[in-house]
Amino acid sequence: MFNWFSSLFRKQQGLRPAPHIAAVARHNANLWPHLGEVESQARVYQQSPWVYIAINRIAEAAALVPLHVLRLQGEQRIEVERHPLEDLLDAPNPYLSRFELFEQTVGMLELTGNAYWFLASDGSGVPAQIWPLRPDRMSIVPDATNYVKGYVYEIDGQRIPLEAVEVVHFKRWHPGNDYYGLSALESGRLAVSSDRAMAEWNRNTFGQDNGVPAGIVNIREKVTDADYERIIRDWRQTYGGPQRRTAFLRGGELQWQNIGLSHTDLDFLKGREAHLNEILNLYGIPVGLVSENSTEANAKVAERLFIERTLWPKLVRLAQKITQELLPFWPGEYVAVFEDIRPTDVQARLAEIRTAYPVLSINEIRQRYYQLPAAAWGDLPVGMQANHPEAIHETPGEETEDAAELAADGAKAALIELRRWERFTLKRWGQDSARAFEVRALPDEVAFEVAAGLLVADSVDDAQAVFKAARDEVLAS
């Protein structure tokens, strides 16, 4: 057997084109998509409040995040001001805004596992308009060479062929399909259908004329047929309804026997809450994000988890597809990225900068952590200028000022040095001076906080606020 398998392989040098594409195309050539299933998924979105909440929360959050185009220059990424793609996304077509385009795209992707854009040109060869297409009308035509030959968009029996280059197909991973994405509703079908059944039962219970539970009216006293019919008629006129199933028995005194199950017996509210949690988890929505009982701390943790583990991967999926299929229409090497909205831990970030500042120059810290341009005075690490002869210190008059006071220990010396540093900074504010203040008495962590704060200070008031916070910290310690 092993010799037989060995005969399937041939000796060759290097790599070859993918040999399985033709087989995959032939396999899927006669497998038409289940468009009716996509239509039913759209109805679920319209009828299930939990599905609507989950998808709507993701779609609207994604539509709010700006997208930027960066030009690749070696290992650097340089942001492009108003790239044509950004202009196109801001006004995709005369009837849609940027928000509506991304809201519909992400919504369809979450609901059906697929989303499509049709790229319309004005004859120049580049996209001039973007039209989102409904997945329940779209079919993919496999190709043995190029994997996808094109698409067919069907409306009321009319089939419109679309070229592969004209369509951008966003999709989620599907383990059992080569061409179409997987809808989360397929995994949560049981939870969604069970919750809808419970909602229907609740509506039937409390619908019009349905306020009385099902049961049996037992007439224990003997009555005539005329009285019996009168009792039934009066009962149904007063308590009956189209959904009531009330049985009448005679032969004894009048007695009610309840044979229905109450909401308490069924643990109705907990059942619906369990379905809510399951559906929200299915879409990656932390329960604390929508629960009215969440504390502020829980809500913040939930929001952080939602952005980092749910929203951000979806934005990366969209950006990479746009980079792959839209940006090549314009010459040059570009990449599309959404603005990084992931929350950062301020304390962890400061700890990381504090660890780096003895070995990184001020300019390196400005560029890496604050995305600020280099400063003429920022070639040395924070607080390390005194160890380098090339560092320019204060003038002799400034250096000797308060010299006697600097001999004092502890907080007094730190406060005096802060006052000198503040005068030094304000005197040179707005000047491109290479002079650096020499730190001697301040604790390293306070000196770092001041230096980091001054890096991002935009005005004299901001700088004064940095020194005030540092004085408060020294006094508190």
Tens digits of residue pLDDT in 156-177: 989 999 999 999 999 999 998 9
Tens digits of residue pLDDT in 280-289: 888 999 988 8
What average pLDDT is seen over the chain? 79
112 has a pLDDT exceeding 70? yes
342 has a pLDDT exceeding 70? yes
Q: What pLDDT is recorded for position 389?
A: 41
Other Cβ atoms less than 10 A from the Cβ of 382: the count is 25
Distance CA 33, CA 36 (A): 9
User: Which of 98-102, 105-109, 193-197, 202-206 shows the lowest per-residue confidence on average (mean pLDDT)?
Assistant: 202-206
Are 348 and 332 in contact by the 8 Å Cβ rule? The answer is: no
**In degrees, to the nearest 5, what angle opens at C-alpha 247 toward C-alphas 243 and 252?**
155
Q: What pLDDT is recorded for position 402?
A: 45
- 413's tokens: 């010396």
345 has a pLDDT exceeding 80? no
User: Between the CA atoms of 338, 339, 343 and 346, what dihedral angle is there, to the nearest 10 degrees?
Assistant: 150
Helix (H) or strand (E) holding 370: helix 362-370
396 has a pLDDT exceeding 60? no
Other Cβ atoms less than 10 A from the Cβ of 92: the count is 21
Q: Which of the residue ranges 120-124, 243-247, 472-476 has the most confident prediction, judged by mean pLDDT?
A: 120-124
Of 151, 152, 118, 120, the C-alpha closest to 133 is 118
- 283's tokens: 């879409």
Q: What pLDDT is recorded for position 456?
A: 72
**CB within 8 Å of 291: residues ≥ 6 apart:** none
Which residue ranges make up each domain of the chain?
A: 15-209+263-343, 214-259, 346-476
Q: What pLDDT is recorded for position 338?
A: 96
Round to the nearest angstrom and report the end-to-end CA distance of the chain.
Answer: 79
The 334-338 sheet, strands edge to edge: 76-79, 67-73, 334-338
Identify the three-state secondary structure at position 13.
coil
Distance CA 334, CA 462 (A): 37
